[in-house]
Amino acid sequence: MIQIQYNLIDAIFYFIGFVVPIYFIFKSRNQKIGSSLLVKLMVILASFMLIQFIYHTVAILDLKILSKGILEPLSAVVITILSVYYFLSTKKIKMGDEKKEASL
């Protein structure tokens, strides 16, 4: 019973966490305020949040093969992609800034 309550609370929080990046993506596309890098990062983050929401929802239904066997490794892959993409993007931005400073 406690596990169901835990998964329900987590599912609610992950859904709220999913809505925030989606709102940012729609807001930035309408107003053209976001860079494409930030929008891509938000899409990957929203994907992670959605997978976690589905994971906890499926765990409430006690479908362990789907939740533990498929969704948990998939969420680990997505968060790893997010971190690698962020690392490479910041490295690329820093290299661009260094080139600008060297040319001045």
Tens of pLDDT, residues 26-53: 888 777 655 788 889 999 999 999 999 9
pTM: 0.85
Class of residue 103 by CB neighbours under 10 A (exposed 0-12, middle 13-18, buried 19+): exposed
Tens of pLDDT, residues 61-70: 999 899 999 9
Number of H helices and number of E strands within the chain? Answer: 4, 0
Q: In the chain, what are the domain boundaries?
A: 2-103
